[in-house]
């Protein structure tokens, strides 16, 4: 048996080289047996030399092995979950540009080329982010949408398998962020460590049971030896009871031989059970992987169905809102038409009244003008008469003054002269 870490590393390298991991295959089996027979820890270079001698995949060369080792190194040590060329739609120019994407921890960085020299931007993932496939448009196929912090990124993959792989990797990162872990690689490492610990505990339990059985067998053998020794001593002490003791010894020996055979049978059954447990464990792991893939596919299908239902409900709501708006506008137009007709009738009546009032006012104005002309004439006549009277008064006043002077003068002349008065 070889270490589970080495098995995991071989499985990763085989998958990175584009082959299917099969432990009993012609390529993997001899390599596993060599590592198992070594019984000691292997360095990385010794492992690479062994893989170089016995390739993991048929037709694989050193370049494929180098690329596979680089990919596994970036995934396990550099925490790089996914990488590759994708097409991204711009936010300002709305054009499609090919970028080299790199999913590391919870950050998706994209560069101009795979040499990672010119970085164009990054997408920071959080537990509130969402990723889902979208329909083809703008001549681009295999699209998916990443929504984070109010921003949306439309990305096109080269084929549906790559699109599903990117969606699954991003969803795995989001699920890890939801449960509060640091990274997907560390979460997978933790799971593998727990699985190895469970396997180790099971192996320890089986080893303990084997040890207990061996101790029981040793005790039985020791008891048998003690009985044989006591039988020999009994023969030396008492020849009379030799036959009885021999018979008892034979019966006891037969009994212990049966027990020994039973113990051997139990040990063989335990070894078969251990092998069956190992096969069952491998089948259970394969079943878990298949169930995880099926769960991811079902999650993607459910997400697409949920999105379609959401779009259908939105279309129904929009249609209902448009019908309601149209009915309201029609009622508003009918009401406005009725009000317009009422206002037109009121306007006609007011116009007729205004025309009548205008005619009446015109007549009253003409009468007022006539009366005003008449009053002007009378005023002029009264003013003329007043002027004549004023002139007559002035002349009368002048005549009265002159008459007064004359009367006064006459009175002075008619006054008698008394003695002693001087004459004028």
Residue 354 lies inside a defined structural domain of this protein = no
Residue at which a domain ends, from 55, 78, 101: 78
SS3 content of the chain, % helix, strand, coil (to 5): 70, 10, 20
Same domain, 137 and 90: yes
Domain boundaries, position 103: 79-182
Give pLDDT, residue 89: 93
Output the CA–CA distances (angstroms, integers) from residue 47 to 7, 9, 41, 71, in the order listed.
12, 10, 10, 17
Same domain? 223 vs 299: yes
Q: What is the CATH number of the domain that holds 106?
A: 2.30.29.30
Which regions in the chain score pLDDT beneath 70?
1-6, 16-44, 48, 50-60, 75-77, 181-189, 191-192, 411-424
Q: What pLDDT is stored for residue 157 in this prediction?
A: 95
Q: Give the C-alpha separation, 275 to 337, whole Å.
A: 92
Q: DSSP characters for 138-165?
A: TTB-SEEEEEETTEEEEEE-SSHHHHHH
Q: What does the pLDDT read at residue 189?
A: 66
The pLDDT value recorded for residue 2 is 46
φ, ψ for residue 216 (rounded to 5)? -65, -40
Claim to verify: residue 175 and residue 225 sit in the same structural domain: no
Task: Choose among 73, 53, 71: nearest CA to 62.
Answer: 53
Query: What's the confidence (pLDDT) of residue 186?
Result: 65
Pick from 308, 323, 340: which residue ends a domain? 308
Residues 133, 72, single domain; the answer is no
Which tokens sit at 184?
A: 């997907």
Instruction: Please check whether residue 335 lies inside any domain of the structure.
Output: no
The overall longest dimension of the chain from CA atoms, in Å, is: 237
Say if 336 falls within a structural domain: no
The whole-number pLDDT of residue 1 equals 37
Last residue of one domain, picked from the residues 28, 62, 78: 78
Please report whether residue 125 resides in a domain.
yes
- Tokens linked to 259: 């027990």
Is 172 contained in some domain? yes
Distance between CA atoms of 384 and 299, rounded to whole angstroms? 117
Domain tally for the chain?
A: 3
- pLDDT of amino acid 403: 72
Residue 375 lies in a domain: no
pLDDT number for residue 302: 84
Are residues 211 and 174 located together in one domain of the fold?
no
Tokens of 321: 């809102």
Any domain includes 421: no
Same domain, 274 and 206: yes
- CA–CA distance, 123 with 103 (Å, rounded to integer): 9
Q: Are residues 174 and 231 in the same domain?
A: no
| The pLDDT of residue 424 | 45
């Amino acid at each position: 048996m070889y270490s589970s870490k080495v098995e995991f590393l071989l499985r990763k390298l085989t998958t990175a080289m584009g082959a299917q991991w099969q432990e009993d295959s012609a390529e993997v089996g001899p390599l596993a047996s060599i590592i198992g027979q070594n019984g000691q820890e292997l360095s990385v270079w010794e492992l690479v030399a062994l893989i170089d001698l016995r390739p993991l995949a048929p037709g694989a060369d050193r370049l494929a092995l180098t690329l596979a080792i680089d990919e596994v190194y970036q995934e396990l040590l550099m925490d790089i979950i996914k990488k590759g060329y994708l097409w991204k739609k711009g936010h300002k120019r709305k054009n499609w540009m090919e970028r080299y994407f790199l999913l590391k921890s919870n950050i998706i960085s994209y560069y101009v080329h795979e040499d990672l020299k010119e970085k164009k931007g990054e997408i920071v993932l959080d537990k509130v982010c969402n990723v889902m496939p979208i329909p083809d448009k703008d001549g681009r196929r295999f699209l998916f949408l990443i929504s984070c912090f109010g921003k949306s990124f439309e990305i096109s993959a080269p084929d549906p398998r790559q699109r599903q792989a990117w969606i699954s990797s991003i969803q795995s990162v989001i699920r890890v962020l939801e449960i509060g872990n640091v990274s997907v690689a560390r979460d997978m490492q933790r799971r593998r460590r727990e699985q190895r610990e469970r396997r180790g505990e099971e192996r320890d339990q089986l080893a303990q049971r084997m040890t207990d059985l061996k101790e029981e067998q040793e005790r039985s053998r020791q008891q048998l030896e003690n009985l044989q020794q006591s039988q020999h001593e009994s023969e030396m002490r008492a020849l009379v009871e030799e036959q009885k003791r021999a018979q008892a010894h034979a019966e006891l020996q037969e009994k212990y031989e049966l027990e020994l055979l039973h113990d051997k049978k139990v040990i063989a059954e335990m070894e078969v059970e251990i092998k069956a447990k190992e096969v069952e464990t491998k089948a259970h792991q394969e079943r878990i992987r298949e169930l995880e893939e099926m769960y991811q596919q079902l999650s993607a299908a459910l997400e697409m169905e949920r999105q379609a239902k959401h779009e259908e409900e939105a279309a129904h709501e929009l249609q209902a809102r448009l019908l309601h708006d149209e009915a309201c506008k029609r009622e508003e137009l009918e009401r406005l038409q009725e009000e317009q007709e009422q206002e037109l009738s009121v306007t006609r009546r007011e116009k007729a009244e205004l025309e009548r009032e205008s005619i009446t006012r015109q007549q009253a104005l003409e009468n007022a003008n006539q009366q005003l002309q008449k009053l002007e004439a009378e005023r002029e006549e009264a003013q003329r008469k007043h002027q004549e009277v004023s002139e007559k008064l002035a002349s009368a006043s002048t005549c009265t003054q002159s008459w007064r002077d004359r009367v006064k003068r006459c009175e002075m002349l008619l006054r008698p002269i008394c003695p002693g008065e001087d004459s004028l």
